Structure 1
Amino acid sequence: MSNLHTDRSEVCDILRDSDIWLDNGNVDMFKVSNALNNLLKIGNFDGFEHMITLLKNTKMAEKIKFRLTRAESQRDSILHLIKIADKATDIERIILKPYDTKKSEVGFIGDIFNQAQGLYFRNNSSSQFSSFDDDFYNYKHEDKNTLREKGFAKVLSDRSQERFRIVDNARVHTFNHNFYAVSDENGFYDSSNAARLAKLSHVNYISVNKTPEKYIEKAIFLPIDHACNNYYHALSECFGGLKFISELPSDIPIVYTEDRFDVLDFIASRLCIDRNRFISIKTLSNAVIEKALQLYPCNFTWDKNTYLFFKQISYPQTIPSKIYISRSKSSRGPSNELEVENEMRNLGFDIVYAEDLTFAQQVLSFSNASIVVSPHGAGLANILFMQKGSALVEIFNRDYIQPDFYLRSRHNDMKYQCTIQSDSFFNIDDLKEAIARCGI
C-alpha cells in the first residue's frame, strides 16, 4: 500500500475488494451508488443493509453521506410501493428481466420500424471541453480540491452515442409514475430507459386483465424520464427525445410520460408537431403496441447536439440581459436573500422568480440571458436555451456540490464559475467575485 493517504487503507477487507475506488485509492461516489443500486435491483435487501452499515462505520462516511442517504431513501421508496401494490386487486406482481447487451449500428432511422426487435445505436462525434484546471485555476486550493473530489475534473468523451430500441408486442407498466417501464411480451425490459424505481428494481406490476383492451400498430416512445416530477428530467430527458422526430414518419403516435410543467404545447408548437399525435403513457396500461420504438435520453452530461436541438425551441437573443434566480419565495432561500437581491440589482441584474414564470417565459428569459446567477437546482436545465459563450454562476450549499451543470455547460462553450455558500446565508462579496471572474 502506498504511503500516501487513501480512503481504501481505512476500510475492512469486504469494502477494500469492492468496485468503489478511484485509481488513487480514494472512494468514487458514483461507484458507491452503483454498488448499492445493484443490490437493490436484484432484491438483495439484506446485502444492501450490510453494505450500508459497513460504509457508515468508515472514516470516509461523511464524504459520501449524501450518496448513502439517497440510497437508503431509494430502498425505502421501493419497499413502500411494493407493499402498497401487493394489496391492489387490479394488478399483479411480475419480475421483469434485463435485455442482453447486444446492439447493432444504424445510420438512417427513418425506416427503423422495419427492423427486428433489438437495440440499435449510432455514434456522433463531439467536441471535448474538459478544462478543469483552466476554469478553476484561481480558486482556493481547498475549494479546488473539493470540486475535483466532487467530479468536476471528469474527462468528457469526444463521442456521444444515440440509442433506439424496437420492441415487438410491447406492454406498458404504469401502476406508479416511479415504476414506468416498457417491456416486450416475454417480460424483458431496459432498466436504463425506465422511471426512477424501475431502474432500481426488477419488480413491477401489470394489469390482471390478460386480454388487452387496445391494440396499437406503431408508437414512438419518448424517453421515460428518470423522475417526471423533476423539471430537469422532464425537459432534458423525456422531451429532449423529440430531437429525433423530424427523422421519423409523421403519422405515428408519440407517447410521453408526464407533462407536469406544461411544456408540451409550447414545444409542439415551436417544432410544428401536431399536438394530437401525443398520447400519455398512463392511458396504455391495457394496451399492446405491436411495434414500439423506444427513444433514449441524451447523455447525462449532454453534448453539442443536445444544445443544437433546444436552440430550435429557444428564441434569438434580442436584448442581452443579466438574471439572478431568487429563492425568496422558497423555503430553501438564504436568510439574507433580500439583501442579495438588492446587490444584484445594483450590478444590473434582473431578479427572476422562476416559480412565477410560464415555460414560455422561462425559455425567453434564458434565451436572452448573457449571464445567469442561480442556486443549484433542476431549473438550471434552462441553460439549454442560453447562447453559446454565455455565463453561469452556480451557487452551492457546501453539503451538496454537484458537477452536473458545469460538465453540461462545457458543450455550449459557456463561462462557468461557482461559489460555495452556507445554505442559510450568502456571502455577497464571494458572489460578486464569482460574477467578476466571468468577465461579463
Structure 2
Amino acid sequence: MALELTAARPDPALLDLPWRRPLEDWPEEILAALPRGISRHVVRFVRLSGRVLAVKEIKADIARREYEMLRDLRRLGMPAVEPFAVVSGRVDADGEPLDACLVTRHLQYSLPYRALYSQSLRKGTATRLIDALAVLLVRLHLAGFWWGDVSLSNTLFRRDAGAFAAYLVDAETGELRPRLSNGQREHDLEIARVNIAGELMDLDAGGLLQEERDPVEVSERIVTRYRELWSALTTEETFADTERWRVDDRIRRLNKLGFDVDELELTTDVDGTSIRVQPKVVDSGHHSRRLLRLTGLDVRENQARRLLNDLEVFAASTGRQGEDEEIVAHDWLARVYEPTTRGVPRELVAKLEPAEVFHEVLEHRWYMAEKAQHDVPIQLALDDYVARILPGKPDERAVVGIDTEELPVLADDSLR
C-alpha cells in the first residue's frame, strides 16, 4: 500500500515520521512532552519544521471526515484546532495495515482541563471552565454545528484575563447544518451536563477538585449559562414606537457580552405603535476587533476588554479623552503596553502570552497599591511581578513534565 498524505499545505518533512510503526511505539526523541487529555485514541505530539503537531491515530474515513469538519469550522471563524493533514495507507514492517492519523497544529498556550487542575489554581476554576465551554457551545450552535460529544475533555483552554477561552479539539462526532433545532441544541446540552459531571467526579476522586460543591451540582452550570447567553443573543423583544432608543440599548448589551450585531430584524405593527427587534447575525469578538483596529494587537476577548479599559484610564490620566482615539491608542501602545510586555526576561517569555502578562501585571499593581494605600507605577509592579510571581508559573507555551493521562481517573466511560 502507498502512503497517502492529504493536506492544504503539505510539508514534505511529514514523510520522515515513522508511519510504519504504531503511534504508541514512536520513539521518545521525536516526541514533544506536552500534556495530553483523556482520549479514546492514541495521541502524540511531535516537533516538525519548527512547529508542534498533534497526531491522533484513527480510522481513515473518520480522520478524513474530521479533517474536513475542522476546516469548515475554521472557515466559519469558530474556535477550533487547525487541521494540518491526514496520513493514510499505513502498514507496519510486516505489511499489516495500520490506522490512519489525523494531524492538527498544537494550539500554543492551551491546556486540557486535567493539566490545569494539576497546577495550583484558586477555587472556582471549574465554574470558569464551564463558562468558557458555554460560550463555545453557543457560538457553535449559532453557526449550525451539532457537536455530539460536548465535554471538558474534548476542549482546550487558554487563559483570558483571569477567565478562560475554550477551543474545540475533537470534531469526529459533529455535524454542520443550516440551522439547529431546539431538540438538537438540548441534546448537546444534556450530553455536556452528563460528561462534565463525570469529569468533575474523576477530579474529585483524585483530590484535584477545589470546588466544595457536589460535582453534579457544578455541572448544572453549563445548562444555566448556556440558556442565559442563548436568550441574550436570540430573544425577540417588543417595545413601543416611542422607545426606539431600546434598539441601541439591545446592541450595547450584546456588545458588553462580547458580541457584535451585524444585522437586526426590525418589524413594526400595522398601526406603528410597537416595534419588534431580533438579532439575525451575531458574531463574537466585539472588544478584540476594536482593539485590533486601534492598536494592531490580536488578543482574546477578555484580554481585549482589559486592555481597552487600561487604554481609557491612560486617556483620562493624560487628559486626552477628546483626542483622536487611534492616536491615543498608538501612544498607549508605545508608552505603556510594549515597555511592560518587553520587560519580561527572555528566559520567562514562554510562561504566559504577552497580553496575559500585561493583565497579570495590572492585577499585581492593584494589589500592591491596595497594600501601600497609594498608586504604584507600572514599572515597579512589573519588576516585583517578574521577580516574585512569574518565575513560579509553568511554561504554558509548551508545558512539559506532566502527562495528564497518568492522573487518576475514576470512570473512563464518562470521559468519552
Same-fold call, TM cutoff 0.5:
no
The structure whose RCO (Cα within 8 Å, separation 6+) is larger is 2
Q: TM-score range by the shorter chain?
A: under 0.3
- Which has the larger helix fraction? 2
